[in-house]
Chain A
Amino acid sequence: MVFPALAVVGIFSLYPAMDSFLLSLHRIYLGLPSLGEPFIGLGNYTQLFQDPVAHQAFIVTLGFVILSTTFELLLGIGIALVIHEHFKGRGWVRAAVLIPWAIPTVVASQMWRFMLNDQYGLVNLMLFGDQVEAYVPWLADPWMAFGAIVLADVWKTSSFAGLLVLAGLQVIPDDVYDAARIDGATAWQRFWHITFPLLKPALLTALLFRTIDAFRVFDLVFVMTQGGPGDATQVIQFYGYKTLFTEGRVGYGTSISVTVFVAILILSLFYVRTVGSKLLEQERA
C-alpha cells in the first residue's frame, strides 16, 4: 500500500525537483540556442551568491516576510478574539472575515492595483475627493509600493491566521477562565497569563504557515508592481521568474527557484524540529 503513495510523490514532486536541479547545473540561454547547453556544475549558484540584484531581492523578500507575518499574526489574534465571542450574527461575521482569504490572489492583487491607481483609484478618491491635483501615484514610489504589497497581503491573509488562532482559542476550556476570574485575574491578566501561553501552539502553527507562504510571494508582485518601481518590490521569486521567462536564462533562473526551494525546506525543517516538537508536546497536555 505504500508503493502507490511513493510513486505519486516520486512522479509529482521528486521528479520535477530533481529535473529543476539538473537544469540549474547548466548554462542555458533560450534566445541563443547556438551556445548549446554546457554543464557548468555549481556555476549558476556561485554567480547567484555574488549577484547584487539577487541580494537586493533577498532583502526585499525578508522585509516582506517579517512585516507581513508580524501584522498578520497580530491582526489574526485580534480577529480570532472577536469572532470567538458569543454575539448575535457571529456566524455571518465569521464568514465575512474569511472573504478576503477566499478571493484568488490574482483577483485581489488586481483589485488593490485598481484601488491604488493614481488617476481613478478608490484610495485617492476617498482621501482627496475631487482635488485631482493632490492624487498620489502610490505604486510609483518605492516605499509606498512596498507598503502596498505588504498591505495587500495582510488584508488578504490575516483572516487565515485568525482562523488558525481561533482553533487554538476553542480548545481552551471555559472553566479555566472561570477559575482565573475567581483567582482575581483582570481581563488583561487573563489574556496575558492564560490565553496567550495556551495559544502558543496555534500561534506557532500560524507563524509557520505564514512565513513559508510569505517567502514564496509572487502573484501579488506580478500583478501589482512587476517588481518596480526600480527593484523596490522585486522579491526573490519574481526575480527568478524574470530571469527565467523574460530574459530566457533558464539555467540561472532555475538556480534561483531551487535556492528558494532549499531555503524554505530548511526553514520548514527548522520549525518542525524546534518549534514543532514543543508544539506537539504542548498539544499532548
Chain B
Amino acid sequence: MAGFTLTQLCKSFGHTMVLNEISLEASDGEFVVLLGPSGCGKSTLLRIIAGLEAQSSGSVNIGNRVVDSLPPRDRDIAMVFQQYALYPHLTVRENLAFGLKMRKESTAVIEKRIGDAAELLEIHELLDRKPKELSGGQRQRVAMGRAIVRKPKLFLFDEPLSNLDARLRASMRVELKKLHQRLGVTMVYVTHDQIEAMTLGEKIVVMDQGHILQIGTPDQIYHHPINPFVAAFIGNPPMNLIEGSVHLEGQYLEFHAGDFALRLETHAHIETAIHSDSAVLGIRPEDIKLDIPSEPHLTLSGFIDVVENLGGDHIVYLISQEQHLTARTTPNSRRRAEDPITAYVPLQKLHVFVNQVRIPLELYYH
C-alpha cells in the first residue's frame, strides 16, 4: 500500500508564500498529475514530497507513514528530473547502478535489475555509453531507468518530457502510460501541458499561484471546470469565455455582455434570485455546432472571421453579436471569411460561472 496523503502543506521562501494549504490524497497505484502555469509551485510541491525541500508547515504521508523528518533516501521514492540529471561522468550502466550501490545491493541483484530495466526501456545497446553520447529521448529513457531499478513505492516526475520535440513527446507519453500500467506504482507527474495531463492523469490537480483550484478525473476537469481559470487552462483551442452579467430567477437565466444577450428557460425552479455583474459564459470550441442539433440549443448568428485548416478539423473564428468565438468543426471547403454563419450550442454544454464559481447548470437540464 503506497498511496500518499498531503495535509495542509505550506511553503514560503522568505516572505513569499509559494504553496498555500495544499491537501491531496492519492490511492495506491494512482497516476496523479499536477497541472498549472509556470511558477505556480508544482516543482516545489514535488520536491517537498521527495524530501529535497522542507515544508514550512503541514505533513507528508507516504504509504501510511509520516515522512516529514526523513531524508529523501529513506522515503522510498524515485524522481525523474526535467534536465534528466544523469551523472555525466558515469556510463548508463553505472548511472542505473548508482542508487543500488549506495544501498549496498549485491552485484547479482544490481545486474538483474539493470537487465530488467534495460529490457523494459529498450536501452540495452546504450548501457556502456556516457550521457553526452545519447540523444534527448535516450537520456530521458535512462533517467526513467534509473528510477525503475530502485523499485520505489512512489515515482515523481518533474516535467520529464518538456525538453523533447513534439513527436518524441507524444511517443514517450504513450510509453509512460504503458510503464504505469505495467508497474502499477503510484506516480506523481508535474506538467504545464494540458494534453499530457489529460492523457496520462487518472487524477488531475490543477494549481495556480500556490493553491489547488480543482482535483478531479480528466473528464470532471474537462466537463465541469470549477472556475474560468481551470476552464481556460484545459482544452485546445481554449474555451470561449464571455464576460458579462447574469440574472437567475424563477425558471429563467439571463446573460448579458454588451450586445450579446442570452435568455434561457431552465427546467428547475430557482427559489432565490441570483444577480451578478461578474459572470462568465463559457463555450468549448467543439460544442459550437454548425448543424442544428436535436437537443435544446442556443442559436448564434454572425459571420466568419478566419478559417484555419488543421486537416482533420477546421478551426472557425466567428463573430456573433460583437463577440469573437472559436469553433472546432468538421472540414467544409465552402466556408469563406466574411460569409454569414449560424451556429448552435446545446444548452447542457454551456458553462456559467458567477463570481468565479461554476453554476452547475447541468442540474437544471437533467
- The chain A residues found within 8 Å of chain B, CB to CB, are 173, 175-176, 178-186, 189, 193-194, 197-198, 282, 284-285
**Shortest Cβ distance from A200 into B: residue:** B89
Query: Are A179 and B87 neighbours in the complex by a CB distance under 8 Å?
Result: yes
Residues of chain B within 8 A of A178, CB atoms compared: 47, 50, 52, 79, 81, 85
**Shortest Cβ distance from A178 into B: residue:** B52
- The chain B residues found within 8 Å of chain A, CB to CB, are 47, 50, 52, 71-73, 77-79, 81-83, 85-89, 98-99, 102-103, 130-132, 146, 150
Residues of chain A within 8 A of B73, CB atoms compared: 181-186
B213 CB, min distance to chain A CBs, angstroms: 28
Query: Are A181 and B52 neighbours in the complex by a CB distance under 8 Å?
Result: yes
A84 CB, min distance to chain B CBs, angstroms: 18
Residues of chain A within 8 A of B79, CB atoms compared: 178-179, 182
Residues of chain B within 8 A of A193, CB atoms compared: 87, 98
Query: Are B99 and A173 neighbours in the complex by a CB distance under 8 Å?
Result: no
Given contacts A175-B82, A183-B98, A285-B130, 6 further A-B contacts (CB under 8 A): A175-B83, A176-B87, A178-B50, A183-B150, A198-B89, A285-B132
Residues of chain A within 8 A of B99, CB atoms compared: 182-184
B263 CB, min distance to chain A CBs, angstroms: 56
Max chain A C-beta neighbours (<10 A), residue from B82, B86, B87, B146: B87
Q: How far is the CA of A58 from the CA of B258 in the complex (A)?
A: 94
| A-B CB proximity, top 3 nearest | A183-B99, A184-B73, A175-B85
Query: Are A181 and B89 neighbours in the complex by a CB distance under 8 Å?
Result: no
With A184-B73, A194-B87, A198-B89 known as contacts, the answer to whether A179 contacts B103 (CB < 8 A) is no
* Among candidates A185, A198, A282, residue contacting B102 with C-beta atoms closer than 8 Å: A185
Residues of chain A within 8 A of B87, CB atoms compared: 176, 179-180, 193-194
Query: Are A182 and B88 neighbours in the complex by a CB distance under 8 Å?
Result: no
**Shortest Cβ distance from B53 into A: residue:** A178
**Shortest Cβ distance from B97 into A: residue:** A183
Query: Are A180 and B98 neighbours in the complex by a CB distance under 8 Å?
Result: yes
**Shortest Cβ distance from A181 into B: residue:** B72
10 residue pairs of the A-B complex, CB under 8 angstroms, read A176-B87, A178-B81, A179-B86, A180-B87, A181-B72, A182-B50, A183-B150, A186-B73, A193-B98, A282-B89
